[in-house]
Structure 1
Amino acid sequence: MRVRIASEPAPGQAVNEDAAIHLGSLVGVFDGVTAPVGIDTGCIHGPAWYVQRLTARLAQVAEAQPAASLSVMLAEAIERVRRDHDGSCDLGNPATPAATVCLLRADDRHAEYLILADCTLVIDGADGVSALTDQRFGDAVARLRREALAKGGSEVPAGTPVPGKYALTNQPDGYWIAAANPEAARQAVTGVLDLHGATRVRRAALLTDGASRAVDDFGLMGWQDLLDILTEDGPTELIRRVREAEDTAKQPRYKRHDDATAVLCTFGSG
């Protein structure tokens, strides 16, 4: 497996709340959740601290438990970060620092993946290019928008914080995200991809939503084009194109710019 990585903070921001890892056969992207202004998180730490701790703890777990599943590894990493708060934070607060996650681990014949919240995994397989994500996050936000309208409220613009979202965090009727509850890892979207034979996957891209917005938000390209750009020009070029689109967007999200991380994995001889 060959891996190419780029991760950049939003323009003008000194701290990157995204992260990426490449540890042998394991790769991953992480997107720290920025709490809107005025939201009490109950924690003295921020999303950048959480992402840095989670990636470091995951690396420790992967080294100590190389045969464990991705869900087990991530659950243990979340538990270790929970202890890193050292009793100084209210970890029962649903707005406690959190991160979306996409992991992939390959051996000679298969690739195991895990997705939490709105990270995206793009795969180039026998049936063409497709994108996988954890749809529960988008479904929960869409439901809240519909409920707000049904109660006579005004429509919440796409991409802006939705009231009531935190009440659905890490709940069976809401969505799951890496935060303070290891159960989230056990509720992640998981699967296995073939790397040999007629159904083999040739390429895979792991994206935070700051990178996947090239397709999702801006429609600059399709998933096939995105994979080709990553392959031919590299992840940095994809992020550069996203930045151009952010600068010229007429209706930007509540954050015009976002941290962006992209990882390309190429398997076999392709």
Structure 2
Amino acid sequence: MGAPDRRYPTGSVPARPVGTAPLMRVRSASDPAPGRLENEDVVFRFGPLVGVLDGATVPDGYDTGCVHGPAWYVRHLAARIGLAIAARPAATLMSSLAAAILAVRADHGDVCDLDHPGTPSSTVCLLREGGDQADYLVLCDSPLVLDTGSEVTVVADERLAAATADLRRTADTLPGDGADAATRFHRSVTVQRARMNRTHGYWAAAADPDAAYHAVTGTVPLRGPGALRRAALLTDGASCAVEEFGLFDWSGLLDVATAEGPEGLIGRVRAAERDHPDRLRRHKRTDDASVSLCEFDAAE
């Protein structure tokens, strides 16, 4: 009998036969915005599924029609996604997300007005390893970065950014003194809420399961030419390292997350927020930040 494999604790040697999908290793980190006790992001892994969710922060003074908050919503949605995929492993990510949204709708009970335009909502970014390929889903502004060895690509849902740019143009038509700035912000929030989960607006997970069928989806091979080597699932509090601060390109983001870990990438963002607060285009100076880095061994 041969000597035990010292690379793994007793009983933990991967029972993955030769010829199956590449082994997926996942490292994750999630950090609330400085000064905030509650994190409205969630990172999770359920078997072959990895996900990040970013709950929409409710501006002070705005009603939601709901006794629960964004943190409650993302925790329940993450759990319900996992249960939906466990119940129907062969289902598409779209249909699993739709089932999860419907289940969270029931979780609210009868105490919330789920037709309120400010009902709790979340972005969704999912990656599922499945044999010869990985499936992905992106809904709203939590991008997915894919490295296939020969190229790095970004899967993004640009509809929120387009709607936000349009809202800024609308708000900028108002006078610019202090009182009117508050008026512009109120108008922007009102219009943005009205455009959520509308054909000419943007889509997010909230109370309507139909939103799942408007997500950006696709597959990437895990074998052969163009096989996936690395993937990063990001909330916008982490993707701003590229999109807002320009610290590096998407390939550089993957390299930093690989070398320094997801927490190292978030640390780079926190330093940039401290050093260059004027560079942020968002209405928040800082944000919750989450990263899941998936790395794949080459298939044998």
Flag whether TM exceeds 0.5 (same fold): yes
Aligned partners of 1:120 and 1:14: how far apart in 2?
Answer: 25
Aligned residues: 266
Question: Structure 1, residues 206-245: CA drift from partner, whole Å, max 9, x if none?
Answer: 0000110111111111111110111111101000111111
Q: 1:215 aligned to 2:242?
A: yes
**SS of residue paired to 2:45:** strand
Q: 1:221 and 1:42, CA in 2 relative to 1: closer, same or farther beyond 3 A?
A: same
Q: CA RMSD in A?
A: 1.8
Which structure 2 segments of 5+ residues have no match?
Answer: 1-23
Amino acid at match of 1:174: G
Q: 1:262 aligned to 2:291?
A: yes
Residue 62 of structure 1 corresponds to 85
Question: Structure 1, residues 39-62: CA drift from partner, whole Å, max 9, x if none?
Answer: 211111100000111111112112
Q: 1:49 aligned to 2:78?
A: no
Residue 227 of structure 2 corresponds to 200
Question: Structure 1, residues 170-192: CA drift from partner, whole Å, max 9, x if none?
Answer: 00110110000000111111111
In the alignment, which of 251, 258, 273 is matched to residue 231 of structure 1?
A: 258
Amino acid at match of 2:63: D
Amino acid at match of 1:117: C
Could you say which structure has the larger radius of gyration?
A: 2
TM-superposed deviation, 1:250: 3.5
Aligned runs of 1:1-270 on 2, under 5 Å?
1-125=24-148, 127-149=150-172, 151=173, 162-163=188-189, 164-251=191-278, 252=280, 253-269=282-298
**SS of residue paired to 1:174:** coil
Q: Could you list the runs of 4 or more consecutive aligned residues of structure 1 that deviate by over 3 angstroms after TM superposition? A: 151-156, 160-163
TM-superposed deviation, 1:153: 5.2
TM-score, scaled to structure 1:
0.93
Amino acid at match of 1:261: S
Q: 1:17 and 1:250, CA in 2 relative to 1: closer, same or farther beyond 3 A?
A: closer
Aligned partners of 1:87 and 1:34: how far apart in 2?
Answer: 23
Query: After alignment, is 69-78 or 127-136 more displaced?
Result: 127-136
Aligned partners of 2:257 and 2:149: how far apart in 1?
Answer: 19
Aligned partners of 1:269 and 1:32: how far apart in 2?
Answer: 35
Q: Answer yes or no: is the 8 Å Cα contact 2:132–2:222 preserved in 1.
A: yes
Aligned partners of 1:144 and 1:111: how far apart in 2?
Answer: 36
Which structure 1 segments of 5+ residues have no match?
Answer: none
Aligned partners of 2:164 and 2:236: how far apart in 1?
Answer: 15
Query: After alignment, is 183-192 or 140-149 more displaced?
Result: 140-149
Q: Answer yes or no: is the 8 Å Cα contact 1:195–1:268 preserved in 2.
A: no
TM-score, scaled to structure 2:
0.84
